[in-house]
Amino acid sequence: MCCKKLWPKLFLLKAMNSDRIREFKKKSAMGKIKKIEILSGCISCGACEVVCPSVFVVKQEAKIKEDAQIQENEDCIREAADMCPVQVIRIIEE
């Protein structure tokens, strides 16, 4: 294969790997989730339940399910906390 055709693929591969490395560094800098709290001010938008239905349930306002498996759902919990429009999901790490 000609070098001119190979360069864009190498550049794309490098960019993809740097994203993966950045993601890995970000995850390894975080601790394990010990507890989650929902602070006052929930506007019941339902985003957390959509993103992480095994942990959050939204009726009048968001609640954490009693049988929620926190360790198994860390990624979606963090995603729900990031997506919450009023930032009331508090993650407490070990």
Which positions lie near ligand SF4, rule CB under 6 A?
38, 42-48, 58, 62, 84-86, 88-89
Could you tell me the smallest distance in angstroms from the CB atom of residue 92 to ligand SF4?
15
Could you tell me the smallest distance in angstroms from the CB atom of residue 55 to ligand SF4?
11
Q: What gap in Å lies between CA 24 and CA 46, rounded to an integer?
A: 29
Could you tell me the smallest distance in angstroms from the CB atom of residue 54 to ligand SF4?
14
Q: Which residues of 9-20 are buried (b: 16+ CB within 10 A; e: fewer)?
A: eeeeeeeeeeee
Q: What gap in Å lies between CA 30 and CA 92, rounded to an integer?
A: 11
- Identify which of residues 12 and 43 has a Cβ nearer to ligand SF4 in the complex: 43
